[in-house]
Each structure stands twice: as structure tokens, then as C-alpha cells.
Amino acid sequence: MRTLVRLAGIAAFTALVGCGGREEAKQAPAPSPAPTTAPAAAAAPPAAAKPGVEPLAIFLDANTIEGKAPLTVTFDLDLDGGTPPYKWKWDFGDGQKATDADPKLSHVYDKPGTYMVEVTIDDAGGDSDFDILEIEVK
């Protein structure tokens, strides 16, 4: 008699052999575990801050994040640390971009949709930071 049993993804084979009135149980060796992949490499740690200089950090907010078209949004960006001068890159998510160094920049959204606004600031010391804000226009 042969029986194939599958337990928790591992197959075991048991054979009962009748021989002279006695039965022997034989079991096939268990298969080796499935190979595993190595864990993904950890991200590189952030660059160390320069002595005496706080790391660049920005936070993006807005006077409104939703409303009916045309929607005028005035962004409010807080910037701390880093080494001036700063290089600004705005992406309003609607195809429009700007490099205005203005923490209170306004933008008009003419069409309904969901827009991801991203601002990136690079400093003279090689540090960079960005923030993203979602705008919903109905």
C-alpha cells in the first residue's frame, strides 16, 4: 500500500510492505527547504552633516489642498539648515514647473484632477531635501 501525504507543503512518502505477515514502514527523506533569496541591501545612510551646519530640512504646506477649478493654491514652505545659496525646483503636477526661490509661491489649477506637487531644494554644500503635497481639484 502506498500513501502520499502532503503536510504544510512538504511531501512525505510512506510505504507499507507486507512481508511474511509483518509490515515495515519506510519513509522517503524530506525534501530540502526551498532556497531563499538574500535580503535587499540596506539603503546607504544619509551623508553626515558638515560640522557646524544643520542638515537641510524642508516642509511643504498650502493654504488649501482641495477645491473647485480654477483653484489658486498658495504654498508655504519652511526651510531649515543647509548652506545658502539654495536652488529651488517646483513641479506642480500639472505639467508646470518653476525655479522661483519663493517660499510663498502661488499656482492656479485650471482643470479637475489630483495633482502631486513636489518641491526640491539643493544647497551649496551638496545637501538636498524634498517634500510632496497632494492637491485635489474638482
CB 67 within 8 Å of CB 129: no
* Model pLDDT, residue 74: 97
- In a domain, residue 102? The reply is yes
Q: Are residues 70 and 132 in the same domain?
A: yes
* Model pLDDT, residue 49: 54
Does this model's pTM top 0.85? My answer is: no
What is the grid cell recorded at 117? Answer: 506637487
- In a domain, residue 40? The reply is no
- In a domain, residue 51? The reply is no
Label each residue of 36-74 as H, E or C.
CCCCCCCCCCCCCCCCCCCCCEEEEEECCCEECCCEEEE
* Model pLDDT, residue 22: 47
- In a domain, residue 39? The reply is no
* Model pLDDT, residue 53: 85
* Model pLDDT, residue 48: 53
- In a domain, residue 100? The reply is yes
- In a domain, residue 74? The reply is yes
Task: Count how many domains the chain has.
Answer: 2
Q: Are residues 69 and 127 in the same domain?
A: yes
Range of the domain at 10: 1-32
- Domain of 62: which CATH number? 2.60.40.10
Instruction: Identify the segments of the chain with pLDDT beneath 50.
Output: 1-26, 28, 41-45
Q: Are residues 83 and 127 in the same domain?
A: yes
